[in-house]
Structure 1
């Protein structure tokens, strides 16, 4: 019962300690704040009302990039910061963050042509401190992108950015923070602010992890010198207890997942959608082909997972079929979908969602430090700005000392029973825990699940060490099998029930209930709109 006892102990520590920093939100921004806080010797705790990376940070476009369009919008500083952080992440987390080629095709008489785009990409490379682009003539490009439409095509420009498993990035950052003393707990909700006079000095918390060794509804009051609200699209909820103001504009971005056999890509394509000229991406990720994204105001309840609409589905299908007309993608080809809600700080003028700034903002409202907006790529810089605003409450000075986010893993040589590629996968996903993972996990479970790169042992490790409370925590976020395999992947993992019994001590009844719950979540939020189900 070690997992249950560990959670009880974490709840006890969380609720009986006076903290320097109490972070609300277990996405990439909250993880970044916690990482930078504990590294500075601050007693830090982090809570998440659902699961780590449940919101935006498991449902991004999986890109670590500077954002070419931000230059065109005049946000050169944002692009520069993003590119600097991209290069840092490529150095510190190789394998998890991977450089990828992106191609932009040029057509006769269509803006931007070769030279305007190459000027833009030259500026992009200069901001990154490198030169990493080239031009391909038509036939050379079509050889690199088989099946791409050729009518009117003159050639294409290739540059590089990076892709990532976003949810695993969050876990790696949290692992580093825990190694420095962070206490963190998921399925803990901040129900109210605690005030001393007119200043925020703590939170009222509620443990919602029923059936996991706690009494549902268990509550506590926790004190902290600084409370940092890093809840992304949810940020206005706590702020509005102090100030009647709405600043976050939730924008939904949706994606489709296809088999790589239907469209085998080794690199990415950036293009404009034929209907509205919005930028979209078609790219390889985790052995699948992804198309995205949309950019729509999300007006649904934020506590209900965002889901693809039928209009978005047909929009994305039309986009990919325009670029690869011979493929003739249909609804039947879609393996899974995902939709995320971006926490964009609104200018308040009701303009085109795609024209809203992707810069982040921080506010101090009576001691409640709120940080929201920004990009996945710049989470470290966002975290530093949040801590700078809290510095007065903490009695510290916050400088960017350039220290690494990730320690170099003590990887050593690849074990004899692992191929170099499998070993590199383990290092990329587990970082500082690589050697412990290899010591603890059964050699017989160091095998791939179906046609993915995911190892069976990753499921056991996550159940044992990564606060899995529900089956979707495991299959949608600790690993990504729910996005990569048909019907959410359950039928392709015959060993999963034994792992759930061994590590989480779930009864047959609990496993059955969690299977039903997971399949419902997958079908409602990670598959097709109801009217389009096949």
Structure 2
């Protein structure tokens, strides 16, 4: 894709000269970042722009290290935007006796909910209990008690065990009544995984890291006994090649880990077992605001989670060895989830109820003792590839911060730096200056401010809370042009000013970046196809795309959809 520094001067949607000049200036960040990367000998270079790489970059930058990070696609493009979108400790890991992991994730869950209240929220989970499934009353009574114990009994919602009659009041009317014993309730959280990854990445940049998406590491030069000290990069937007020097290197490449490691050490063995996780976005068959956990006949569990006006159903867990760049959602994947839902809630879901779907790969660490995909541990692994080069994989999204701390501790030991991690004390980008218990009050005031000061509807104002206190900067700039305050379509609360903000501040390059990750438009009505023309042309005006480039962006987006209904 070609990027031009000028924009169309006759654009009727984007005409304010001051904002226009600022957009051009901010799109120069790629050129400036590449120049900086080419001239700096970094303390640490990170390859991989998911949540793990972002967390490492933020931790290292906050310690005062010089940091560079590159991602061959968009930030959060892979696993980090394909999760179940839950901030959870993992109740099922208690059954696998992964007590240390559950304890660590319980502590980190609380921190994420406190540090990013604008893109997370506490959420109650209900578990229907049946004597003929793996989720029996006896097992769950102990499991939820241990879950709260590992959280020091400081989870936002203490567990409960309900009898059949009370449980039916909170579950869909179609609940299977055979051998029904009631329900367990426990607390976890929900998040926008792609935006949380982005906020961590932008926080790393604010702390001094140089970050670049759509930039691939092409070749690792082994010019010293210690390992890699120079890496050849390629800017994917214009194919420009440049080199970066570094004292240490971290490969945070997720399921690409083995391929990248073997470029540096051809004799290395595979360590990652990629498993495919599919999620469906479906019409609602219940209206209560809590998630439901249901068992599957193969011994797994799946989640049914409120997702705006819809439901999120997932996930599958199957070994995957095909094309990592495109992970389709098959009829078999969809039917597995539909059948699981209908086993617990007969007749509730059909294929016609699917609105959208998405898929991702888990970069799990190989284990000889794991009999099935779901048995593989969710612990992470940090392995030294060469004396100054590390590869990190595995782990849970919720524990990204402690994984990053452990990784940077190893780096500082090599560099002789004794600075400690401060990532649990420094606010994230967009973080609202309020405690979790004050979020309701803050958001109510913020909504009133948006409705009065900017003349927005309540629906749009509620939606814009996802940007935290950055909503003020977004709307102060957008209000200069009335067109930017308009909703993109009547079906959605998104306004055109958000697109300007993404391009100016959030390093958007393609239409897919906007529809898949900066927003959740792909996961809603018609997978965004109803508004794709408006968004593509608006982006084209801002970025100087030709009509051919606009059509290609639209075509590329349609090809990237993994659910073809």
- Confirm or deny a common fold (TM above 0.5): yes
Greater CA drift, 403-412 or 82-91: 403-412
Distance 1:150 1:297, change over 3 A: closer
Q: Where does residue 397 of structure 1 map in the other structure?
A: 418
SS for the counterpart of 1:199 is: coil
Contact 1:384–1:398 under 8 Å retained in 2: no
Greater CA drift, 353-362 or 129-138: 129-138
Distance 1:270 1:244, change over 3 A: same
- The superposition leaves residues 204-227 of structure 1 with CA deviations (integer Å, 9 ceiling, x where unpaired) of 3333433xxx3x2x2122111111
> C-alpha displacement at 1:351, in angstroms?
2.2
Greater CA drift, 262-271 or 100-109: 262-271
In the alignment, the residues of structure 2 paired with residue 104 and residue 19 of structure 1 have an alpha-carbon distance, to the nearest angstrom, of 49
In the alignment, the residues of structure 2 paired with residue 108 and residue 316 of structure 1 have an alpha-carbon distance, to the nearest angstrom, of 22
Distance 1:451 1:315, change over 3 A: same
In the alignment, the residues of structure 1 paired with residue 289 and residue 558 of structure 2 have an alpha-carbon distance, to the nearest angstrom, of 31
> C-alpha displacement at 1:58, in angstroms?
0.6
- The superposition leaves residues 468-517 of structure 1 with CA deviations (integer Å, 9 ceiling, x where unpaired) of 2221111111111112121x313235632442133222122211111111
Matches within 5 A, 1:503-518: 503-518=542-557
Contact 1:147–1:326 under 8 Å retained in 2: no
Contact 1:253–1:339 under 8 Å retained in 2: yes
Return 5+ residue gaps in structure 2 as ranges. Answer: 6-23, 434-441
> C-alpha displacement at 1:136, in angstroms?
2.5
Match of 1:356 among 354, 367, 376: 376
Matches within 5 A, 1:89-488: 89-108=112-131, 110-129=133-152, 130=154, 132-152=158-178, 153-210=180-237, 214=238, 216=239, 218-240=240-262, 241-242=264-265, 243-260=267-284, 262-273=285-296, 275-302=297-324, 304-327=325-348, 329-349=349-369, 351-366=371-386, 367-397=388-418, 399-401=420-422, 402-406=424-428, 408-409=431-432, 413=446, 414-415=449-450, 416=452, 417-418=455-456, 422-423=460-461, 425-427=463-465, 429-431=466-468, 433-442=470-479, 445-446=484-485, 449-486=489-526, 488=527
In the alignment, the residues of structure 2 paired with residue 278 and residue 110 of structure 1 have an alpha-carbon distance, to the nearest angstrom, of 11
Distance 1:446 1:93, change over 3 A: farther
In the alignment, the residues of structure 2 paired with residue 142 and residue 453 of structure 1 have an alpha-carbon distance, to the nearest angstrom, of 34
Contact 2:123–2:291 under 8 Å retained in 1: yes
Return 5+ residue gaps in structure 1 as ranges. Answer: none
> C-alpha displacement at 1:400, in angstroms?
4.4
SS for the counterpart of 2:368 is: coil
- The superposition leaves residues 17-43 of structure 1 with CA deviations (integer Å, 9 ceiling, x where unpaired) of 221111111100000001101111111
In the alignment, the residues of structure 1 paired with residue 490 and residue 166 of structure 2 have an alpha-carbon distance, to the nearest angstrom, of 34
> C-alpha displacement at 1:157, in angstroms?
0.8
Contact 1:204–1:219 under 8 Å retained in 2: no
Distance 1:84 1:421, change over 3 A: farther
- The superposition leaves residues 60-104 of structure 1 with CA deviations (integer Å, 9 ceiling, x where unpaired) of 111110011212211111101101010011111113111111111
Contact 1:291–1:316 under 8 Å retained in 2: yes
SS for the counterpart of 2:529 is: helix
When normalised by structure 2's length, the TM-score is: 0.86
Contact 1:95–1:424 under 8 Å retained in 2: no
Distance 1:498 1:364, change over 3 A: same
SS for the counterpart of 2:552 is: helix
Contact 1:209–1:469 under 8 Å retained in 2: no
Distance 1:230 1:99, change over 3 A: same
Contact 2:63–2:420 under 8 Å retained in 1: no
In the alignment, the residues of structure 2 paired with residue 497 and residue 254 of structure 1 have an alpha-carbon distance, to the nearest angstrom, of 27
SS for the counterpart of 2:358 is: strand
In the alignment, the residues of structure 2 paired with residue 371 and residue 120 of structure 1 have an alpha-carbon distance, to the nearest angstrom, of 30
> C-alpha displacement at 1:368, in angstroms?
0.9
Distance 1:507 1:173, change over 3 A: same
In the alignment, the residues of structure 2 paired with residue 451 and residue 144 of structure 1 have an alpha-carbon distance, to the nearest angstrom, of 29
- The superposition leaves residues 183-237 of structure 1 with CA deviations (integer Å, 9 ceiling, x where unpaired) of 1111111112122322234343333433xxx3x2x21221111111111111112
Distance 1:454 1:322, change over 3 A: farther
In the alignment, the residues of structure 2 paired with residue 375 and residue 454 of structure 1 have an alpha-carbon distance, to the nearest angstrom, of 30
Give the RMSD, CA atoms, in angstroms.
2.2
Q: Where does residue 73 of structure 1 map in the other structure?
A: 96
SS for the counterpart of 1:514 is: helix
> C-alpha displacement at 1:454, in angstroms?
3.9
> C-alpha displacement at 1:266, in angstroms?
1.6
Contact 1:259–1:289 under 8 Å retained in 2: yes
Number of equivalences: 515
In the alignment, the residues of structure 2 paired with residue 425 and residue 394 of structure 1 have an alpha-carbon distance, to the nearest angstrom, of 44
In the alignment, the residues of structure 1 paired with residue 459 and residue 415 of structure 2 have an alpha-carbon distance, to the nearest angstrom, of 45
In the alignment, the residues of structure 1 paired with residue 209 and residue 344 of structure 2 have an alpha-carbon distance, to the nearest angstrom, of 47
Greater CA drift, 60-69 or 331-340: 331-340
> C-alpha displacement at 1:301, in angstroms?
2.4
> C-alpha displacement at 1:112, in angstroms?
3.9
